[in-house]
Amino acid sequence: MPLMDITGYAEGFNENPYPFYEQMRKAGPVHRIKDTEGNDVWLIVGYDEARAALADPALHKDWRTHEQYAEQTRASEVNRNMLEMDPPHHTRLRKLVAREFTAHRIEALRPRVQELTDSLLDAMAAREDRRTDLIEALAFPLPMTVICELLGVPDLDREPFRVLSNEILAPASKESELKALQDMAVYLAGLIERKRAAGGDDLLSALIRTQDEDGDQLDGEELIGMAFLLLVAGHETTVNLIANGVRALLAHPEQLAALRADLDGLLDGAVEEMLRYDGPVENATFRFAREDMEIAGVAIAKGDPVLVSLGASSRDGARYPDPDTFDIRRATQGHLAFGHGIHFCIGAPLARMEARIAIRGLLERFPDLAEVPGEPYEWITASLIRGVRRLPVRW
């Protein structure tokens, strides 16, 4: 199969990748591409093929077992997380985390999420200029505060942490990414030691203490990896879920009006359509072929890296009729915004709760909310995250 080089389309691709995905899909569900970071990879853009690949044990996640990537990238302790591991290691880590990351613990956060949302919206309403960057005012501080309080690190140095997080997810260079990974590992190691000494009822303290029936528990590096995954994934995806969702609503005034008219009846479905239409995670993290294999009749060689495009699969017209239409009444069941299979996002219930509360509050408090015209978006240039760095709004 010929190599498709998408690096030349970087500007248009970041702004709106969906027409590019549709053109690919017309030629088939699987393509060999050179991505925006210069890697030769297989990209899956069809819904059925994406769903199957996400649950296929023939595609593994641990890049440290991949000769090329192991040579190019030095592992950091933050990589000892369950997203980058396969069974039985993944099974063991997820079991230990699931013991503490329970539905009851998440649901108990609801009043606090509401309180934080109300406080952030109060601060917005108090602005005399009646305009703000919605990401700085709401979409970032809400999930960041929630995950920090859940883990028991309310004193987290959030701006330095945000810089490291952004550099890891959207690195300026391989060197800067490696330094950010190393700095993050050092920072989290110190954080965990302070939590180990202080104790508490928070999630991170519980993860430090938790053991299964056989006495198994997380070791030091695994705690660093888990703290990294929960902190970064626990805020970055929700930031962009809220921001992308609000962008979609403001760009579709008839859908916004319908939602305002029936928040009780339509809000849950609207959030699911936001996830499908322009979700916060564009591609799943790399998978690698364990052996020579085929996907949709395309030969994939042992060791080849495979990207599953969550964004492309959610716009597949074979699964969702009229897929480029934003329709908050759509039946969105089966969308892949949170993944599928054993790596399905463990924090999905928390992200959904935060998005529903934030968007309801925003629409109730600011009935004439609109984007500030004339300010072009600065898109996040990364294969993983889909979103903008700023979202100027007025009311």
Query: pLDDT digits over 111-143, tens only?
Result: 999 999 999 999 999 999 999 999 999 999 999
User: Distance between CA atoms of 45 and 241, rounded to whole angstroms?
Assistant: 21
* Start-to-end Cα distance in the chain: 51
Say yes or no to pLDDT of 388 above 80: yes
User: Distance between CA atoms of 146 and 107, rounded to whole angstroms?
Assistant: 12
pLDDT confidence bin for 9, thresholds 50/70/90: low
Q: What is the mean pLDDT of residues 294-321?
A: 95
Helices 174-198/158-169 angle, 10° precision: 140
What is the percent of the chain with per-residue pLDDT over 90, rounded to a whole number? Answer: 60
Q: What is the DSSP letter of 333?
A: T
Helix ranges (DSSP H) in 252-292: 253-261, 263-278
Between 66 and 218, residue with greater pLDDT:
218
Closest CA to 48 of 56, 38, 37: 56
Q: What is the pLDDT of residue 350?
A: 94
Among the four given CATH numbers 3.30.1050.10, 1.10.530.10, 1.10.630.10, 1.10.10.1800, the one describing domain 4-394: 1.10.630.10
Q: What is the pLDDT of residue 58?
A: 96
Structure tokens at 121: 């919206």
Closest CA to 166 of 390, 380, 395: 380
188-215: pLDDT as tens digits: 899 899 888 887 888 888 888 876 556 7
Structure tokens at 349: 């219930």
Count CB-CB contacts under 10 A for residue 230: 21
Q: Return phi, psi of residue 213, to 5°.
A: -65, -25
Q: What is the mean pLDDT of residues 158-173?
A: 83
59-86: pLDDT as tens digits: 999 877 766 655 555 567 888 889 989 9
| Cross-strand partners of 307 | 43
Contact 43, 60 (CB under 8 A): no
Q: What is the mean pLDDT of residues 175-197?
A: 88
Structure tokens at 303: 């060791």
Structure tokens at 229: 């995954």
- 180's enclosing H/E stretch is helix 174-198
Alpha-carbon dihedral 273, 275, 278, 283, rounded to 10 degrees: -150
pLDDT confidence bin for 394, thresholds 50/70/90: very high
Closest CA to 160 of 144, 178, 138, 139: 144
Q: What is the mean pLDDT of residues 214-230?
A: 85
Amino acid at 126: A
- Show Cβ contacts of residue 343 under 8 Å, excluding neighbours closer than 6 positions: 54, 61, 82, 83, 90, 284
User: Distance between CA atoms of 307 and 4, rounded to whole angstroms?
Assistant: 14
**Average pLDDT score, the chain:** 90
**CA pseudo-torsion sign 356, 357, 359, 363:** positive
Structure tokens at 362: 């925003």
Task: Give the distance from CA 285 to its chain's centroid.
Answer: 10
- Cis (ω within 30 of 0) for the bond into 141? no
94-118: pLDDT as tens digits: 988 888 888 888 899 999 999 999 9
User: For the chain, what is the total number of helices (H) and then of strands (E)?
Assistant: 17, 11
User: Distance between CA atoms of 110 and 115, rounded to whole angstroms?
Assistant: 9
Global pTM reads 0.92
Q: What is the mean pLDDT of residues 337-364?
A: 96
